Amino acid sequence: MKHAGQLMVPAILVMSIVVASPVAATPEGQMTWAVHVSLAPAWFDPAETQFTSFMLLYALHDALVKPMPGSAITPSLAESWSASPDGLVYEFVLRKGVRFHNGDPVTTDDVKFSFERYRGTAAPALKAHVAVVEVIDPHRIRFRLKQPWPDFMAYYGTTAAGSGWVVPKKYVEKVGDEGFRKVPIGAGPYRFVSFTPGVELVLEAFDQYWRKTPSVKRLVFKVVPDETTRFATLKRGDADVAYAMRGELGEGVRRTPGLTLKATPVSVTFWVVPLDQWDAKSPWHDRRVRLAANHAIDRHAMNQAEYLGLARITGSIIPAGYPFFWAPPAYGLDPDKARQLLAEAGYPRGFDAGEYFCDVSFTSAAEPVGNYLKAVGIRTQLRPLERAAFVGRYQDKKLKNLVFTASAAAGNAATRIEQYVAGGGFYVYGSYPDIDGLFREQAAEVDRRKRETILHQIQQLIHDKAMFLPIWQTTALHGVGARVAESGVGLIAEYPFSAPYEDVRLKAK
């Protein structure tokens, strides 16, 4: 199984994995990450998952199944799982002897509780398809679907959602959601020590972790939003891994003795979405305006400046390696054509496009897009927001005009379309009836070839309508210091952060 999104259910399917016995070595030393975003307490809770949360979930918590080295969907807290021939029932067998950090055993009651309290981006899709969750006994749990849904494991067993990550029911009910975020308890390889907002998160090795005892005793995640400061922190040795070393700073890492630039291809696509395209009074309602914007952007120049030419220019919001991906024609750079299209749409002198929102950590990529749009007459005002605020306002439908955004969530073309294109999606501000109709049709189609045909039709319509301004599919560029034997970066295919943390190692002294 190359990718979780490829999961189909032609017959009884059982997944299991042979794991190494826990290693009894005593964890030693401290490893420090300089991270590019402010850490939010909500990210300590799998119920609130958005993709950046997995940076912390892989340390604090564990899931029934999750992406791991060598497999995009790996049994973890579950030692195996099976699916019925009709695709209506999924059953999981829990691994015995696994405990939370407070000593409580992990049971199927915790699994059911965690699924039912999940309220992240995939919650509407999961709860619309799952009829009931049945606890068979403390080590067996069964999910019954309302109808066959080929994307169940793409959501439940990957980073498309956090619903499969398990928290202790008794503890959460005792302290409440707010108390849990203040002092999270999980079943992962590291336990919570302290959190100083805006400064750092400190974790300590949990030597009873079922997979193996971590090698490093203490993990520290330092909040360093400024990229120049992150580089300096890495160079001084105050951090062992520095995230997002893009552009000139990436070259700086390459040139510095003792430092290593890790370039890892990832399934992260970036794009701009005109949120007002469904408003008949907005210039963005006219397809010619959206086409003009696409032809205004020099993606290749941006790629060279931001990712050292290592990103993949794309015409889609869906990663090229995802199942059911359809490759659209690329938008060529043509400022003259862009101006002509604007004139044809009634804007020969361009127009004021208002505020243009982005995650502050992506400002260096969002800003050039604004400059290219301005060059053809589309004038914007860039508004960077801290990540938690950006995601919250985006999900709550409180943004407007233009948004520079990205997604790293695992899955397939259907899961990406569900969240960002189809009506009712978590990040959808408006939709088109023809796309919505086809999406409902593919969701009920169990024949893979027929489903692929429908999903290709949807992607062609997305392109024909010029719904988005796709930019690129990125390569993660992170700096690694001289003390590190294994950073964890790149161990999980197409995942942009360090993981699994029980595998990270420092060099022997």
The CATH number for 54's domain is 3.90.76.10
Write down which residue in 200, 215, 230 finishes a domain.
215
Which one, of 205, 259, 246, 200, lies nearest residue 34 by Cα?
A: 200
Instruction: Say if 427 falls within a structural domain.
Output: yes
Write the CB contacts of 478 (distance below 8 Å, at least 6 apart in sequence): 241, 242, 243, 244, 245, 261, 262, 264, 487, 489
Q: Does 498 reside within a domain?
A: no
Instruction: Answer yes or no: do 273 and 211 share one domain.
Output: no
What are 25's two structure tokens? Answer: 């070595």
Rounded Cα gap, residues 96 and 436, in angstroms: 44
Range of the domain at 280: 266-474
161 shares a domain with 278: no
d(CA 191, CA 258): 30
Cα-Cα-Cα-Cα torsion 200, 206, 210, 212, nearest 10 degrees, comes to 90
- Which helix (DSSP H) or strand (DSSP E) does residue 136 occupy? strand 130-137
Q: Are residues 369 and 452 in the same domain?
A: yes
Instruction: Note whether residue 240 is domain-resident.
Output: no
Residues 453 and 387 in one domain: yes
- Domain end among 153, 186, 215: 215
Give the domain CATH number at 465: 3.10.105.10
If asked whether residues 335 and 188 sit together in one domain, one would say no
Q: How far apart are CA 450 and CA 456, in angstroms?
A: 10
Considering the domain boundaries, does residue 252 fall inside one? no
Please indicate, yes or no, if residue 272 is contained in any of the structural domains.
yes
Do 153 and 291 lie in one domain? The reply is no
Q: Measured between alpha carbons, how far apart are the two ends of the chain, in Å?
A: 40
Instruction: Please check whether residue 34 lies inside any domain of the structure.
Output: no
Model pLDDT for residues 456-490, shown as the tens digit of each residue:
999 999 999 999 999 999 999 999 999 999 999 99
Give a yes or no: residue 63 inside a domain. yes
**CB count, 10 Å around CB of 265?**
18
pTM value is 0.87
> Looking at the structure, do residues 190 and 282 belong to the same domain, yes or no?
no
Contact predicate 31/506, CB 8 Å: yes
pLDDT in tens, the chain (509 residues): 333 333 333 333 444 444 444 445 799 999 999 999 999 999 999 998 889 999 999 999 999 999 999 998 999 999 999 999 999 999 999 999 999 999 999 999 999 999 999 998 899 999 899 999 999 999 999 999 999 999 999 999 999 999 999 999 999 999 999 999 999 999 999 999 999 999 999 999 999 999 999 999 999 999 999 999 999 999 999 999 999 999 999 999 999 999 999 999 999 999 999 999 999 999 999 999 999 999 999 999 999 999 999 999 999 999 998 999 999 998 999 999 999 999 999 999 999 999 999 999 999 999 999 999 999 999 999 999 998 899 999 999 999 999 999 998 889 999 999 999 999 998 999 999 999 999 999 988 889 999 999 999 999 999 999 999 999 999 999 999 999 999 999 999 999 999 999 999 999 98
Q: Are residues 180 and 273 in the same domain?
A: no
Q: Could you give the number of structural domains in the chain?
A: 2
| Three-state SS letters, 445-508 | CCCHHHHHHHHHHHHHHHHHCCCCEEEEEEEEEEEECCCEEECCECCCCECCCECCHHHCEECC
Examine the domain organization and report whether 384 and 277 are in the same domain: yes
Statement to judge: residues 87 and 179 lie in one domain: yes
On whether residue 469 sits in a domain, the answer given is: yes
